Chains A and B, each alone.
Chain A
């Protein structure tokens, strides 16, 4: 157990370090930092003052080292725009983002797993085809189109739902659906394929030969096996898609989450916020992935000993 945890933590740390480096240089490469940061319309004296205050006049590599050092003392600097510590700005955005993500994931699981099973069992009939048609549609419609369409119908025409913000439970409905759309499509397709693999296995025939009912065979023996594969894809793909999706969806619905923050920070070239925000999201994805990995190894008895250590 200890060696597995150690290996996993090392891998996570390396991944994170690579991301930190990429994020730092990528933000610097995106334009003349000095001009964007200090903006126009100020005197050259003030300009010099600001540049030296933000240490933008020092060599890039020195800035990079200083940036790395900020991880040790927890001082990530002030926002260029809001003049507040970036950690405060980003941390207050985490909870709304997490809420939306959880809502979208719950909806995805509740819808796509039953749909995937149905599509696998009735793969040769119109039911299976219909489910897969809907799934393909989910793929084909970009989430922002879905979001704007819903706003138009439910807020503008029908006036049932609030357009933007996150005040009440009603606010959750449209962003959740918009975010879950593509996830549902992906996971339904995957669940169907995982189930199809399992349905043809010998042990399913054994289960039927025991006298179990078909529902029991599929849920208890089938889903238990397919579930392990489904779990792995949730970790690898779905978490990534969700993180990307949240940027667009939060911006559209003015959801006060990290995604929304990142978009505005990027537009305003607020490097400290952008850096810290991206790293927070990256860290979240890494942690979710590691947790899913752990859950995957735990759920599959054939891998369990790698988690426990020893034989």
Chain B
């Protein structure tokens, strides 16, 4: 199977200022081929994408050497074209979709106009014809109710739908090459599965080549034909996807592969402890008042967390899994008493803290500490490390300068950083090191429980691995408990003794990690598990997302009305599943099975209209 090349990169070198982002990079993309460009942050993969479209100059970079050639009619050497000539190529022969669907669309322009603009520009369509074509483009990416979307604005759509609009825009002119720069990284795993399926399907339909940029080996395995691995701007490996996965040649590829979280790679053994729980949450609810209109009865409540119960034993890690908007961060904040619960009880080491006031709560805060997602934003940039990581201890028990130094040295050693880090400032550390600092800060008061809210989500896989390993070690040494909140089930598996799956404000399934992952009972858990890309190209999935989403219960209700209560049904030892209205029947209809053995059609997707407008 030798296809003619579409794009050739020859000895490409790129730089930003004095920093060499890419050195001597060469590879080809054939017509219709999917090439995955893989690497961790800073490897130069996005710079390469921007260079192909010649957008890199606008972002403050430049092409130092090498050639970028787009074959076809006519064959163009992109690296030498003027901006005016490039405008004929961009969005027409080569188009691009970006990582952040939330910010990549113009917030004040109707979606229809944003898509139609491309059609008018490259196909010379009139206003009305372009609008019709935009409608068809939206229908092609399976956006429900495309007619209505034309006049909507980005903020009215979910992240997944926005990314579909981006794809519609990029494919409007049936390009020869689509560059997709981490297009699913910001999306939930089920949404990611839908977008990936859509991209494969559209590729079949249009026959374009795809340059897929990602750090996620699971995604690579599920759609790439060939793989190029980048490290610090250099190509370290290139080959067919099977070869790279089965017989990686470069040591770095093997490291990357090993660090990639794989589902089923083993969870910590469940604890057999009869000790009283560190944290016990009973029927916790958090409501937000949404609208207070003038009319009577117009008040609504948003039930962000509803009837949630769980407990964490000393030395145990409970993994809380759920997609964005399911209420997991709200739950964490309620447990910390950063927001007031509207119902239920929270007990910390046996003491009821649900309604505890000021001073008493203040002193209890040292028993629960938090590690946040963004290590760049959660450290005060103007404080030296010694002050940063000992601040919680200093607040609770005034420490002398000398004691703070001693404590800092001890904490730094504990989290695997050099003692001389104490005098540096946060900006002098990498993302992973900063997250270590955040953990050190949490440890400074010897907490019984640490809430880690997406604590490794912003990190590269290999760094994330080091951080979760560190958490495991600290747990073994100090017996600290963790509530580990993440949307990434594979990471959760690696650290959690038990798992709780959260969906639409409720915990729908909880149990030992192995049990929940290997014998999921709730339809939502099953769908979540089936959506995870498997880092194994031989187990590639079909074009359709495999399970339709169960309809979530409405959470926005008139004041006074309660969402349906979740009754937890015991299915095995320590394994409970929510039996809600309507879901109970679903539960009984679907026999327990392993996620990869299912064949389901997405019945919710509307029929695709055949369109030929380009």
A and B associate: yes
Q: How many residues of B contact A (CB 8 A)?
A: 36
B108→A299 contact, CB < 8 A: yes
A210 within 8 A of B: yes
Q: Which residues of B sit under 8 angstroms from A35, Cβ to Cβ?
A: none
Q: Which of A202-244 contact B (CB under 8 A)?
A: 202-203, 205-214, 221, 224-225, 228
A206→B118 contact, CB < 8 A: no
Q: Which residues of A sit under 8 angstroms from B108, Cβ to Cβ?
A: 224-225, 228, 299-302
B169 within 8 A of A: yes
Partner of A210, one of B100, B121, B155: B121
> A210 to B109, alpha carbons, bound, how many Å?
15
Q: Which residues of A sit under 8 angstroms from B84, Cβ to Cβ?
A: 213
Partner of B103, one of A203, A209, A221, A301: A203
Nearest CB in chain B to that of A225: its residue:
B108
A43 within 8 A of B: no
Nearest CB in chain A to that of B95: its residue:
A209
Which candidate, B86-94, B239-247, B495-503, B591-599, is the interface stretch facing chain A?
A: B86-94
A231 to B: closest C-beta gap in Å: 12
> A225 to B114, alpha carbons, bound, how many Å?
14
Known contacts: A210-B169, A225-B106, A225-B108. The answer to whether A205 contacts B59 by CB under 8 A is yes
Known contacts: A211-B87, A211-B89, A301-B153. The answer to whether A206 contacts B121 by CB under 8 A is no
Partner of A203, one of B83, B88, B90, B105: B105
Known contacts: A3-B293, A299-B108. The answer to whether A211 contacts B121 by CB under 8 A is yes
A210→B90 contact, CB < 8 A: yes
Q: Which residues of B sit under 8 angstroms from A212, Cβ to Cβ?
A: 87, 91, 117, 121
B19 within 8 A of A: no
Known contacts: A203-B103, A221-B106, A225-B108. The answer to whether A211 contacts B169 by CB under 8 A is no
A201 within 8 A of B: yes
**Beta-carbon contacts of B92-120 to A below 8 Å, as 1s and 0s?**
10011010100111111110000001100
Known contacts: A3-B293, A211-B88, A211-B122. The answer to whether A206 contacts B105 by CB under 8 A is yes
Nearest CB in chain A to that of B103: its residue:
A202
Partner of B55, one of A208, A224, A302: A208
B107→A225 contact, CB < 8 A: yes
> A122 to B103, alpha carbons, bound, how many Å?
24
B121 to A: closest C-beta gap in Å: 6
A6 to B: closest C-beta gap in Å: 8
Known contacts: A300-B108, A302-B153. The answer to whether A208 contacts B90 by CB under 8 A is yes
Q: Which residues of B sit under 8 angstroms from A224, Cβ to Cβ?
A: 106, 108-109
> A212 to B486, alpha carbons, bound, how many Å?
39
> A71 to B121, alpha carbons, bound, how many Å?
59
Q: Which residues of A sit under 8 angstroms from B169, Cβ to Cβ?
A: 206, 210
B53→A209 contact, CB < 8 A: yes
**Beta-carbon contacts of A290-310 to B below 8 Å, as 1s and 0s?**
000000000111100000000
Q: Which residues of A sit under 8 angstroms from B293, Cβ to Cβ?
A: 3
B294 within 8 A of A: yes
Nearest CB in chain A to that of B121: its residue:
A211
Q: Which residues of A sit under 8 angstroms from B272, Cβ to Cβ?
A: none
Q: Which residues of B sit under 8 angstroms from A301, Cβ to Cβ?
A: 107-108, 110, 153, 155
Q: Which residues of A sit under 8 angstroms from B59, Cβ to Cβ?
A: 205
A207→B106 contact, CB < 8 A: yes
Nearest CB in chain A to that of B151: its residue:
A301
> A229 to B450, alpha carbons, bound, how many Å?
42
B166 within 8 A of A: yes
Nearest CB in chain A to that of B172: its residue:
A210
B123 to A: closest C-beta gap in Å: 11
B382 within 8 A of A: no
> A214 to B53, alpha carbons, bound, how many Å?
14
B121→A221 contact, CB < 8 A: no
Known contacts: A205-B55, A209-B90, A302-B155. The answer to whether A214 contacts B105 by CB under 8 A is no
B109→A211 contact, CB < 8 A: no
> A209 to B118, alpha carbons, bound, how many Å?
10
A3→B100 contact, CB < 8 A: no
B402 within 8 A of A: no
> A221 to B118, alpha carbons, bound, how many Å?
13
Nearest CB in chain B to that of A224: its residue:
B108
Q: Which residues of B sit under 8 angstroms from A299, Cβ to Cβ?
A: 108
> A232 to B486, alpha carbons, bound, how many Å?
40
**Beta-carbon contacts of B62-84 to A below 8 Å, as 1s and 0s?**
00000000000000000000011
> A201 to B108, alpha carbons, bound, how many Å?
13
B58 within 8 A of A: yes
Nearest CB in chain B to that of A309: its residue:
B293
> A175 to B90, alpha carbons, bound, how many Å?
49
**Beta-carbon contacts of B285-311 to A below 8 Å, as 1s and 0s?**
000000001100000000000000000
B46 to A: closest C-beta gap in Å: 11
> A213 to B84, alpha carbons, bound, how many Å?
7
Q: Which residues of A sit under 8 angstroms from B98, Cβ to Cβ?
A: 202, 205-206, 209
Known contacts: A301-B153, A302-B153. The answer to whether A209 contacts B107 by CB under 8 A is no
A72 to B: closest C-beta gap in Å: 27
Known contacts: A203-B103, A203-B104, A302-B155. The answer to whether A209 contacts B109 by CB under 8 A is no
Q: Which residues of A sit under 8 angstroms from B170, Cβ to Cβ?
A: 209
Nearest CB in chain B to that of A208: its residue:
B55
A311 to B: closest C-beta gap in Å: 8
Q: Which of A237-266 contact B (CB under 8 A)?
A: none
> A213 to B83, alpha carbons, bound, how many Å?
8
A210→B118 contact, CB < 8 A: yes
Nearest CB in chain B to that of A311: its residue:
B291
Q: Which residues of A sit under 8 angstroms from B55, Cβ to Cβ?
A: 205, 208-209
Nearest CB in chain B to that of A199: its residue:
B58
Nearest CB in chain B to that of A206: its residue:
B104
Nearest CB in chain A to that of B169: its residue:
A210
B411 to A: closest C-beta gap in Å: 37
B351 to A: closest C-beta gap in Å: 42
Known contacts: A202-B98, A224-B109. The answer to whether A213 contacts B87 by CB under 8 A is yes
B105 to A: closest C-beta gap in Å: 6
B280 to A: closest C-beta gap in Å: 38
Q: Which residues of A sit under 8 angstroms from B92, Cβ to Cβ?
A: 211
Q: Which residues of B sit under 8 angstroms from A214, Cβ to Cβ?
A: 83
B374 to A: closest C-beta gap in Å: 18
> A206 to B106, alpha carbons, bound, how many Å?
9
B118→A211 contact, CB < 8 A: yes
Q: Which residues of B sit under 8 angstroms from A201, Cβ to Cβ?
A: 103
> A164 to B242, alpha carbons, bound, how many Å?
86
Most chain B C-beta atoms within 10 Å of own C-beta, residue among A201, A208, A213, A300: A208
Nearest CB in chain B to that of A7: its residue:
B294
> A299 to B166, alpha carbons, bound, how many Å?
23
A208→B294 contact, CB < 8 A: no
Nearest CB in chain A to that of B173: its residue:
A211
> Nearest 3 A-B pairs (CB), nearest first?
A211-B91, A211-B90, A210-B91
15 residue pairs from A and B, CB less than 8 Å apart? A202-B104, A203-B103, A203-B106, A205-B59, A206-B105, A207-B106, A208-B58, A210-B95, A210-B117, A210-B121, A212-B87, A221-B106, A224-B106, A228-B108, A301-B155
Query: Hey, which bits of chain A sit against chain B, CB under 8 A?
Result: 3, 201-203, 205-214, 221, 224-225, 228, 299-302
Query: Hey, which bits of chain B sit against chain A, CB under 8 A?
Result: 53, 55, 58-59, 83-84, 86-92, 95-96, 98, 100, 103-110, 117-118, 121-122, 153, 155, 166, 169-170, 293-294
Beyond A202-B98, A225-B106: 15 further Cβ-contacts under 8 Å?
A: A3-B293, A203-B103, A206-B104, A206-B169, A207-B106, A208-B55, A211-B89, A212-B87, A212-B91, A213-B87, A224-B108, A301-B108, A301-B153, A301-B155, A302-B153
